[in-house]
Structure 1
Amino acid sequence: MDDVNKRALSILGASVEQPYILLSNREVVTIFDTPHLLKCFRNMFLKYDIKCPTNIKSNDQFGFGVAKWSHIKEFYETDNTNPNFVFAPCLKQEHLNPNTKQKMKVKLAAQVLSHSVAAGMYAKILQGELSSEVVTTANVIANMDKLFDCVNACTPDLRRGKPFSTNMTNNTPHLTHFTLMNKFFKEMTFLGCKRVPPSQEGWIWSINGIERICSQ
């Protein structure tokens, strides 16, 4: 997502909070290319740590944690010390330190922001091989994996513990996760980044658009 696309939709009357245009008195809901948004999120995460809300409470208030790309690298190094079992066998150097061409590949972004990486990080934390502060990073990865399943999958994969990898219905947990991620993108900050990146707003816009379609 870039500012040109956003401006074009804004001229037509759409906005983040009202992500639709009127055409012959009918609403046309606008949604951005979610695979591209995932790739942009990964590229920002490569450069900046993420300050975001956590599910840890103190004095009846939820606190904030910091997700770090360095935690993923630390997990990779720890995960590959065991020659007999690796939690995330697909994870390679091209995922951790992508070059310019590799940064354009959605597949690499999806593989690093994946269920297997998050699950492996949780396991390493429980085993004492990773610090407890890595939980924030694992949570961000797990939630991004679920979000991408919500917007980019149509085949059930419950065997691998991926209930969001199916078509959305009134009985699936998609809408609950959209609410969670809408809050996440509104409250998160890329530490050191001087402005809110277009892709962050693009996620909020797209989630609002999907929720609007579902409400009609």
Structure 2
Amino acid sequence: MFDPPHLMKSLRNNFKRNGFKNGEHDISWNFIEKFYEMDSALPIRMAPKLTKRHITIPAFADLSVKLAMQALSHTVAAGIYTMVQLKALDPVASATADFIDYVDKLFNYFNSRNLYRKGPMAHPLSPSSGHVSFLQID
């Protein structure tokens, strides 16, 4: 049996170290770093839980599932999208935001415990849930 929280932590560590490529699109940790730099300078932050520890991942912090999931959260994805729309980040950062949002939904999908939790992927698989269509790759 796989352990979703620790798989996500490993995913974050590999993502930071190597990045990914989705077709022609580069998915890069650098966009999270750039977003953090811009967001941390704002008086009201878009991702207030995102800290320097999430970005630099000091010794033993790479063992923290919480830091991994906060860095790969819907909030961070939405913040990157917002910065792209405001032209503060390059439009290619959208691929990274898409990836982060997908990872967040995937984590919720595999880590759900409640029948009535908010969010489309935050509840267990059922005939009426969107889980199957979410996992289908075109």
TM-score over 0.5 (shorter chain): yes
| 2-structure distance, mates of 1:109, 1:178 | 22
Q: Aligned pair 1:177/2:137, yes or no?
A: no
Matched, 1:119 2:89: no
**1:41: how far off?**
0.4
Structure showing greater Rg: 1
What SS does the aligned partner of 1:100 have?
A: coil
Q: Which has the larger share of strand?
A: 1
The equivalent residue for 2:21 is 51
Identity between Structure 1 and Structure 2 (%): 33
> Is 1:77 paired with 2:37?
yes
1:32 is aligned to: 2
Structure 1 residue corresponding to 2:60, chosen from 101, 110, 117: 101
Q: Which amino acid aligns with 1:49?
A: G
Give me the CA root mean square deviation. Answer: 1.4
CA–CA separation in structure 2 for the residues paired with 1:77 and 1:44: 21
Structure 2, unpaired ranges of 5+? none
- The aligned length equals 137
CA deviation after TM superposition for structure 1 residue 96, in Å = 0.5
SS in 2 for 1:145: helix
Distance 1:92 1:111 in 2: 9
In the other structure, the counterpart of 1:132 is: 91
Q: Structure 2 length normalisation: TM-score?
A: 0.92
CA distance in structure 2 between the partners assigned to 1:150 and 1:101 by the alignment: 27
